[in-house]
Copies of this chain bind each other. A is one copy, B any other.
Amino acid sequence: MNDWPRRIAIVGVGLLGASVAKSVRATIKDLHVTGVVRDPGKRESLLLNHVIDSGTDSIETASRDADVVVVATPVNHIADFSLRASAASPADCLITDVGSTKQGIVDAVAKDHDAIQKFVAAHPIAGSEKTGADYACADLFRGKMTVLTPHPQTSVEQLKRAERFWQLTGSRTVTMTPAEHDDHLAAVSHVPHLASSAVANLVAADSANLVGSGWLDITRVAAGDPGMWLAICQENRQAIRRQLAQLAGSIDDLQQMLKDSDDVGLLRWLQQAKSIRDQAR
């Protein structure tokens, strides 16, 4: 199985797409990577830096002889680009993605019977507030978790291929339903991101020099690309609203404990948060 894949296509060569290329290339000798990149200058630079071996602006051209197509664009384009890759690619092609929301994408691709045979949705839980291929690296996924969210029609064989592919990047894989994924991600990523932005918005712009390392940690992700996060909010609106309601409830509880001078309750609440944080990693 060391001869698979030979040719991969990356649609959208940003931080994640370029890191997939670099990490798989580190494992598979003679891998050919085609990048689908709209901007000719960017395409040229990716070729010069050996991130990709060939470049095109056509998804169809890139998919024609690909063993694997990785769609690494903003979430609002993933389903459409996956359908186009499916129509153009060989029958045994694996199509996968990196989107941080899954239900909408899987539902949209599943409307095409052929496409859902090829497509196994994936979300590598790795990244950075940085964007762009310049920050890509071969070990971005190392030791991280990639969540696979197969459709009921996905074959066991195709799921196994998706697991193998994502393990080639250095990540571990776990499988859950798209809905389970979206609820979990709303709780661990999307709503935390919104909370980070809300914390940043508490500060007047002119006192941003009077902040400590805690504030800088909490608000780091708020420097992320607003357009990308808007797209995530659009894609995962329902789960985000449910988790935001949880967060609002938690803040109400806090206000009540502060009002009542309920020190026992407040201490327990702080201890619970510490205990959860201490268990991570």
Residues of chain A having any CB pair with chain B under 8 Å: 125-129, 144-145, 147, 174, 184, 187-189, 191-203, 205, 207-224, 226-227, 229-230, 233-234, 237, 240-241, 243-248, 250-252, 254-255, 258-259, 261, 263, 266-267, 269-281
Contact = CB atoms under 8 A, between A and B. Distances in A.
Contacts of A281: 209, 211, 216
A274 B228 CA distance: 12
Nearest to A191: B202
A120 to B, nearest CB: 18
A270 B217 contact: no
The secondary-structure label for the interface of chain A is: helix
Contact of A226 (B210, B274, B279): B274
Given A219-B280, A278-B223, A197 B230 contact: no
Given A218-B221, A263-B234, A267-B226, A211 B188 contact: yes
28 contacts: A126-B212, A126-B213, A127-B212, A144-B212, A145-B209, A187-B202, A191-B199, A193-B214, A195-B198, A195-B218, A196-B273, A197-B273, A198-B250, A200-B276, A200-B277, A201-B250, A209-B280, A218-B221, A219-B273, A219-B280, A222-B273, A222-B274, A223-B278, A226-B267, A230-B267, A234-B263, A244-B258, A251-B251
A251 B255 CA distance: 14
A248 B250 contact: no
Given A195-B199, A197-B274, A202-B243, 10 more contacts: A129-B214, A189-B211, A189-B215, A191-B202, A194-B254, A217-B221, A226-B267, A230-B263, A234-B261, A240-B258
Contact of A267 (B144, B222, B227, B259): B227
A106 B251 CA distance: 29
B203 A187 contact: yes
A233 B258 contact: yes
A169 to B, nearest CB: 15
A274 B193 CA distance: 11
Nearest to A227: B267
Contacts of A230: 263, 266-267, 270
A241 B198 CA distance: 16
Q: What 10 pairs between A and B have smallest CB-CB spacing?
A: A197-B273, A226-B270, A200-B273, A208-B280, A214-B221, A198-B250, A208-B279, A222-B273, A223-B277, A222-B277
Given A203-B188, A214-B127, A258-B237, A198 B244 contact: no
